[in-house]
Amino acid sequence: MPAARRDSNKSIDLLVPCFNEEASGPYLLQELTATIQDFRANGHPDFRFRLIIVDDGSTDQTVQVFDDLIRKSIVIDGGKIIELSRNFGKEAAILAGLTNCDADACIILDADLQDPPSLIPIMIHEWLDGYQVVNAVRSDRSSDTVVKRMSSNAFYSVFLRLSKLQVQLNASDYRLLDRMAIQAILSCQERVRFSKGFFAWIGFQQKNITFSRPQRKAGFTKWNEWKLWNYALDGIFSFSTAPLRVWSYVGLTVTIAAFVVGLMAVIRVIFFGIDVPGYASIFFAVTMLGGLQLIGIGILGEYIGRTFIESKQRPLYVIKRLEDIS
């Protein structure tokens, strides 16, 4: 059992990466206000909550809405507004927020209320019991389409086999990170990032809590199937070299099969005088081997491309404005 922490004078940063979430802002602050008031009334009056908003290149009034809401809040003790110079993606936005977090712990959540703030007290209690990472795990995915559920299960199955990391199935980015866990995440400076892999890689004492994910309160999702597919590829190629090793076995298998087929053809001609038809066998061999080679080159290219990106050492994001709201 992890060692429990004292709960006096603790500070929590609520990190919210945003992209065009002006409609969600008022709903989020309303839910946070009710949750924090209940939490303080139930024996934790000294907890201090700050809100870190990372605007990932929004084209609406997200920054202005949240700036005004933070200043008017009766329960949020200030916070930070971080404006990125353009849309760098959610992974970069999370990293920017964690870099500028100076609280005892940080809770990452989305603005759309699909990460219900009512879980925050539960997360904090688990943290006070000694867990350094508290993950919010969806109890079901009935709200998703069949295709999305199947593709998600397939990805996690492949990822767990290839990476050997214990990534939690159906866990989102909604989680609490202790100060030590935050520092461990920040020590990973890869340019191509897959946060779920980092959360599993850092280890520490972790606790899962389950919840049923509600519908968005306002706005619309910024994730589509293509983005999810590319995100899945980032996860696999960032945390495993198994695809390269697998392709070596595929090459060996094809070579052995080709040798056996070729040997059988020679035996049939020499000992039985049977001519082997040429066109069909040549066409099959050329197309199959050509396809295998292209797939192998593609897998190799994924790793080379990521190596190229890492070698340039560009910053993961550029901050246009950072304002501390007290």
Instruction: Return contacts of 156-160, CB within 8 angstroms, 24+ apart.
Output: 158/236, 159/197, 159/232, 159/235, 159/236, 159/239, 159/240
pLDDT value at residue 306? 73
pLDDT value at residue 70? 84
pLDDT value at residue 162? 61
Give a three-class secondary structure readout of 160-204. HHHHCCCCCCCEEEEEEEEHHHHHHHHCCCCCCCCHHHHHHHCCC
Per-10-residue mean pLDDT for the chain, 326 residues long? 65 88 84 86 81 87 86 84 86 86 88 84 87 81 60 62 64 83 82 71 78 62 58 62 68 71 69 62 68 74 74 80 83
pLDDT value at residue 316? 81
Which amino acid makes up residue 291?
A: G
pLDDT value at residue 145? 58
Structure tokens at 89: 């993606």
pTM value? 0.67
pLDDT value at residue 275? 62
Q: Taking a C-beta distance cutoff of 8 angstroms, is the pair 83, 61 a contact?
A: no
pLDDT value at residue 133? 85
pLDDT value at residue 200? 75
- CATH superfamily ID and name for 11-240+315-325: Spore Coat Polysaccharide Biosynthesis Protein SpsA; Chain A (3.90.550.10)
Q: Name the 3-class secondary structure at 259.
A: helix
Q: Which strand ranges, in their side-by-side order, compose the sheet holding 206-211?
A: 206-211, 133-138, 171-178, 105-108, 11-18, 48-55, 79-84, 319-325
CA distances from 83 to 54, 92, 322 (A): 6, 12, 6
Beta bridge mates, 81: 53, 323
pLDDT value at residue 86? 86
For residues 272-291, one letter each, b for 16 or more C-beta atoms within 10 angstroms of the residue's C-beta and e for the rest, the string is eeeeeeeeeeeeeeeeeeee
Percentage of the chain modeled with pLDDT above 90? 1
Q: Taking a C-beta distance cutoff of 8 angstroms, is the pair 109, 135 a contact?
A: no
pLDDT value at residue 73? 82
Q: Cα–Cα distance between 217 and 240 in angstroms, integer?
A: 37
Q: Name the 3-class secondary structure at 297.
A: helix
Structure tokens at 237: 């190629």
